[in-house]
Amino acid sequence: MQQTDDDQAGLGGRVTSYDVARRAGVSQSAVSRAFREGASISAELRARIHRAAAALGYAPSHIARALMTQRSRLVGVLVTEATARNNPDILFHLGQHIQEAGNRMLVFTLPDDAAGDGILSDLLSYHVDGLIAATTLPEETLRRCARHGVPVVLYNRHGIAASVACDHTMGMRDLAAYLARTGTRDAAFIAGPQEAPVSEERHRAARAAFAEFGMTLRPAVHADYTHAGGHAATVAVLTGVAPPDTILCANDTMALGAIDACRHTLGLSVPGDVAIAGFDDVPQAGWPSYSLTTVAQPIPDLARAAVHLLVDQIDGRTTANERRLVPAALVVRASSRSAAAG
């Protein structure tokens, strides 16, 4: 029923709506309408055309359709290597939701140093209907997107566009509250690379929260978001004079490196000698060798929200520059002191 004789397309090029029209004995317009939801066409004709189309293995060309309708049903996604590595599955989740909305995901990968600007004209060349940027984009680029009518949603970033972000402030506040109750007085902060916006934001949130609870947060030590980076920074911090009682890392991977540094390089106990916390709740954080206290960043929710926000903009259903905050949840595990120890 599905499989009739299929495509005799052979080598004769692709099957077009004209071929279907000829076979069904109708005009090309009718074929076009048969494949356009809600078009003015009778049920019988539509059925007949669909039969002919199935027999020929015809499917409408998105390319040609895009040219006519000015809607490509393509959503551009910008990622850097660092983003891809720190947010496992982010591309997959974005892809799922983009597809559920009837679109396709066109991925633009950038080297970490970026300058996501040069890519813009390329984006426009593909007539993307919208853009999800998990990358820092210059304001000028965002303005040009707006001028060209391309909606943009920033992922875990702020800027002159709609955005979706994890509620770092709230998450960090919950974490700080817990740490305060369990004996933290003086903490070091291991940050990501200098320019990393999420690290910046988490650091800002941490400063505010630590101040609120009367704890000291030392100036940030910058690392590179990796396990090795966290390891090295931790060794540096803890071998100085007057080591802190707690190490807070801008992401889980560095926190896991910190734990390994304590246990395997410095011979310190976690959380006995020093408490350690991260941010993200990557799968490894829950593994018994680490059992890292952290704040869960709900990537599936972020992805869903980003796509919905974008689709709403594309369909003109929403005001631009809307900002959506997705809650983050504190996850207490064994790398921080227990409540009794306070």
Partner DNA sequence: ATGTCGCTTGCATACGCAGTCAATATTCTT
Partner DNA sequence: AAGAATATTGACTGCGTATGCAAGCGACAT
How far apart (Å, rounded) are the C-alpha atoms in residues 260 and 169? 27
Provide, rounded to whole angstroms, the least separation between the CB of residue 60 and DNA: 4
Name residues contacting DNA, limited to 3-22 (CB under 7 A).
13-14, 16-18
Is the Cβ of residue 227 or residue 337 nearer to a copy of itself in the bound state?
A: 227
Quick check: 29 binds DNA (CB under 7 A)?
yes
User: Given the rule CB under 8 A, which residues bind a copy of itself?
Assistant: 6-7, 9-11, 13-14, 57, 59-64, 66-67, 70, 72, 74, 79, 81, 84-85, 88-89, 91-92, 95-96, 99, 104-109, 121-122, 124-127, 144, 147-149, 227, 256-257, 259-260, 263-265, 283-284, 287-290
In contact, 262 and 276? CB cutoff 8 Å: yes
Return the structure tokens found at 177: 């509250």
Q: Where would I find the beta strands (DSSP E) of the chain?
A: 74-80, 104-110, 130-134, 152-155, 162-166, 186-191, 216-217, 221-222, 246-249, 275-277, 294-296, 323-326, 329-331
Residue 341 touches which of a copy of itself, DNA, none (Cβ within 5-8 Å per kind): none
How far apart (Å, rounded) are the C-alpha atoms in residues 53 and 50? 5
Q: Which stretch binds DNA (CB under 7 A): 43-51, 85-93, 268-276, 332-340?
A: 43-51
Is the Cβ of residue 60 or residue 116 nearer to DNA in the bound state?
A: 60
Among 7, 9, 47, 61, binds DNA (CB under 7 A): 61
Provide, rounded to whole angstroms, the least separation between the CB of residue 136 and DNA: 29
Is the Cβ of residue 22 or residue 263 nearer to a copy of itself in the bound state?
A: 263
> Among residues 105, 183, 232, which one has the least CA distance to residue 340?
183
Quick check: 80 binds DNA (CB under 7 A)?
no
Q: How far is CA 175 from CA 18, 145, 168, 184, in A?
A: 64, 37, 10, 11
Provide, rounded to whole angstroms, the least separation between the CB of residue 80 and a copy of itself: 9
Region label for 102, one of left (φ > 0), alpha (ψ between -120 and 50) or beta (otherwise):
left
Amino acid identity, position 157: R
In contact, 42 and 73? CB cutoff 8 Å: no
How far apart (Å, rounded) are the C-alpha atoms in residues 138 and 160? 10
Among 41, 179, 310, 331, binds DNA (CB under 7 A): 41
Using CA of residue 85, residue 92, residue 308, residue 122, what is the dihedral sign?
positive
Is the Cβ of residue 148 or residue 185 nearer to a copy of itself in the bound state?
A: 148
Residue 264 touches which of a copy of itself, DNA, none (Cβ within 5-8 Å per kind): a copy of itself
Return the structure tokens found at 153: 């949603």
Among 28, 109, 284, 291, binds DNA (CB under 7 A): 28
Is the Cβ of residue 122 or residue 139 nearer to a copy of itself in the bound state?
A: 122
Contact residues: DNA, CB under 7 A: 13-14, 16-18, 26-30, 32-33, 35-36, 39-45, 58, 60-61, 64-65, 67-70
